[in-house]
Amino acid sequence: MAAAYWLFKSEPDVFSYDDLARKGSEGWDGVRNYMARNYMRAMKVGDQAIFYHSQATPPGVAGVCKVIKTAEPDMSQFDPKSKYFDAGSKRTDPRWDLVTVAPVKKLAFVSLEELRSVPELIECRLLAKGNRLSVMPLTAPEFKAIVAFSQKAGRRG
């Protein structure tokens, strides 16, 4: 089966691509949206993802990461001290999962506005109005277009 492509959003002041590179790997915890959780449950080891800095000025692409461990229960859902605690989730039937990701390559930063100029991204969910999902699928052409655009931007800058 062919690898799938994804996009992960993180606020850089909470967890940035540089943080991932420094740590080497990290569980993508705290996802509390059923659709985003289901996307993580569909991920396979080796799938690649764009690491996107959201809630930044400006928001944009920071790097490429890959899935190194498939979905497993996000233990923060059981910790009453965690901001991700979910009193309704049961250890026998966990509601929330995480995947573990590792860095692949830091990219030349590409802002959301610059991404809007990439023809291959015209249908990309990231660019859709009101899109708030922190985890979403990308098509192979979308993933490749983002990486290629970043490489061109890096040569310009």
Q: Which two tokens stand for residue 80?
A: 């009453």
Calpha distance 156→72 (Å, rounded): 41
> In the predicted model, what is the mean pLDDT of residues 127-153?
92
Is 115:127 a contact under the CB 8 Å cutoff?
yes
Query: How high is the pLDDT of residue 155?
Result: 62
Residue 111, φ and ψ in degrees, nearest 5: -75, 160
Q: Where are the domains of the chain?
A: 5-140
pTM: 0.93
Query: How high is the pLDDT of residue 126?
Result: 93
Report helix, strand or coil for 36: helix
Calpha distance 132→106 (Å, rounded): 23
Tell whether the model's pLDDT for residue 42 goes beyond 80: yes
Query: How high is the pLDDT of residue 33?
Result: 95
Amino acid at site 76: S
Query: How high is the pLDDT of residue 156?
Result: 58
The per-residue pLDDT for range 49-107, each reduced to its tens digit, is 999 999 999 999 999 999 999 999 999 999 999 999 999 999 999 999 999 999 999 99
Q: How confident is the model at residue 157 (pLDDT cuts 50, 70, 90)?
A: low
Is 121:111 a contact under the CB 8 Å cutoff?
no
Report the CATH architecture of 5-140: Roll (3.10)
Query: How high is the pLDDT of residue 153?
Result: 74
Distance of CA 14 to the CA centre of its chain: 14
